Structure 1
Amino acid sequence: MKITFLPDTYTVEELSVTSLMDRTYCIFDLEGTGIDTTVESITQFGAVPYKRGAGLGESSFSSLVRASKQIPAAVEKLTGITNDEMLKAPHFNEVYEQFCSFIGDEVLVTHAGYEYDLPMLERHCQEYGLTMLTNKVLDTKAMFTYIHPEVTDVVSTDFLIQYYDLNTEGIHRHDALEDCGIIARIFECVLDEYEKRGLDHFTADASKHMKRFVIPEMYLKKENEGVTE
């Protein structure tokens, strides 16, 4: 898969996933010290199996990851992950090995993973001298954008929660494992739309552009002493 980043959008090529309705997937999500994938550090992995019609699997994977930098106070508050917890958290290479063992060769599903989770993983793998995973990855943001060219908003998690009228009351947002549950519900809604349109595949198309997320004000340098996520 090839992801090409432009100033405000990105495109995807060299990816095709067939038999969308019948597969077992693995939903995954990451939390980090910030949004800038070139400098920030992963703080948490979450993953859970999913099959349409059967819902989430009984097994799941969740682990903190020791960050290589301090978590800004605003991010501690947002995620609930503290710098004190980082002192005892396992290092990335340990958690990544466990994560890869858990996901196996399943097709992965994420949200905004093409612009955040995958670049973060790739950079960390390079820094630790590890092999980047080769699983096919579906992104609910891209899947939604492909069938809704009329939508001009940035397709964020919050946008899709509102679009599909999902009830997230009581869910700890920005916890990697709990966010996997939200992604799974969004993915199910997207699959329902694909089925209604007679689509049972996702094929990347370089002519389709996804709008990149906008960095929230809480992460801007002028507001957070150099924080860029």
Structure 2
Amino acid sequence: MKRSILFDTETTGLDPATGDRVIEIAAVELVGDLPTGKNFRVLIDPERDVPEEASRVHGFTAADLEGKPKFAEVVDDFLAFIGDDPLIAHNARFDFGFLNAELKRTGYKPLDMGRMVDTLDMARERFPGMPNSLDALCRRFGIDLSARTTHNALLDCKLLADVYLELMGGRQHGLGLVADGQQAPSVFYEGPAQRRVVRVVPKADELAAHTAFVSKMGETVWSS
């Protein structure tokens, strides 16, 4: 089954070009669109102050990050966890922008934008003109938000994993389409114009059973 990584960041502000830095990275491994239980999470010393308005959003102050590793000290572990797999995030361009700024600062190659899967784009396509924040999507899909008092990156990842599954068709997508012992197909979002379509082809004995059943029904509209 396809492996992908769902991730989130928290930052000191909104724009890496003006000196804002990453202070938290969290990531969740998905296989077949479902969490495996393997997670990555780290708090990072941003090597600068944390503005009060940012602290109100994510709950972290400069004191909370004092003594935490710098990005250069955790980058190898993060890259090893994400591998070469697709990277899923909500408003993913924001997170990619910050991570690529950090990677450039430490002399690493930027993340390939072709790996990006943006659940905000997916939600806007499915629910045009409606609120599509993470909170709004959780409420729309009946996902419990009671623990979300601040924008903790790992909690946001776990909520987004549930949202992503719903956007992909819910827990029933791909189930019941294969014989015992075979791997269920996984549908992976690749943008508005590209989707994999799963088709079920009946076996010869199934067709024969269907024909025998229909023959007992006498004259039907579709047989005339």
TM-score calculated relative to the size of structure 1: 0.69
Equivalenced residue count is 179
Q: Distance in 2 between matches of 1:201 and 1:59?
A: 20
Q: Distance in 1 between matches of 2:16 and 2:30?
A: 27
1:118 aligns with 2:96: yes
Gaps in structure 2 of 5+ consecutive residues: 175-185, 194-224
Alignment of 1:92-107 (within 5 A): 92-107=71-86
* Superposition deviation, residue 205 in structure 1: 6.0
Matched letter for residue 47 of structure 1: A
Higher normalized contact order (CA 8 Å, seq sep 6+, divided by chain length): 1
Aligned to 2:167: 190
* Superposition deviation, residue 172 in structure 1: 5.2
Determine which structure has more spread, i.e. the larger CA radius of gyration.
2
Contact 1:49-1:56 at 8 Å conserved across structures: yes
* Superposition deviation, residue 79 in structure 1: 1.6
Deviation per residue, 1:30-66 (Å, 9 max, x gap):
000112242211000101112347x322221110111
Matched letter for residue 202 of structure 1: Y
Contact 2:9-2:24 at 8 Å conserved across structures: yes
Contact 2:27-2:40 at 8 Å conserved across structures: yes
Q: Cα RMSD between the aligned structures?
A: 2.6
Give the match's secondary structure for 2:155.
helix
* Superposition deviation, residue 82 in structure 1: 1.9
* Superposition deviation, residue 139 in structure 1: 1.1
Aligned to 1:212: none
Aligned to 1:74: 53
Contact 2:168-2:189 at 8 Å conserved across structures: no
Moved over 3 A (4+): 199-206
Contact 2:4-2:31 at 8 Å conserved across structures: yes
Alignment CA distance shift 1:52-1:172 (3 Å): farther
Alignment CA distance shift 1:101-1:172 (3 Å): farther
Give the match's secondary structure for 2:135.
helix
Give the match's secondary structure for 1:192.
coil
Counterpart pick for 2:125 among 140, 146, 149: 146
Matched letter for residue 27 of structure 1: L
Q: Distance in 2 between matches of 1:37 and 1:145?
A: 25
Aligned to 1:45: 25
Aligned to 1:170: 147
* Superposition deviation, residue 110 in structure 1: 0.8
Contact 2:117-2:190 at 8 Å conserved across structures: no
Counterpart pick for 1:129 among 103, 107, 132: 107
Deviation per residue, 1:96-135 (Å, 9 max, x gap):
2211111112222111112x10111112222222111337
Contact 1:172-1:178 at 8 Å conserved across structures: no
Matched letter for residue 31 of structure 2: K
Contact 1:45-1:176 at 8 Å conserved across structures: yes
Give the match's secondary structure for 2:26.
strand
Q: Distance in 2 between matches of 1:110 and 1:82?
A: 24
Gaps in structure 1 of 5+ consecutive residues: 1-21, 207-229
Give the match's secondary structure for 1:177.
helix
Aligned to 2:88: 109
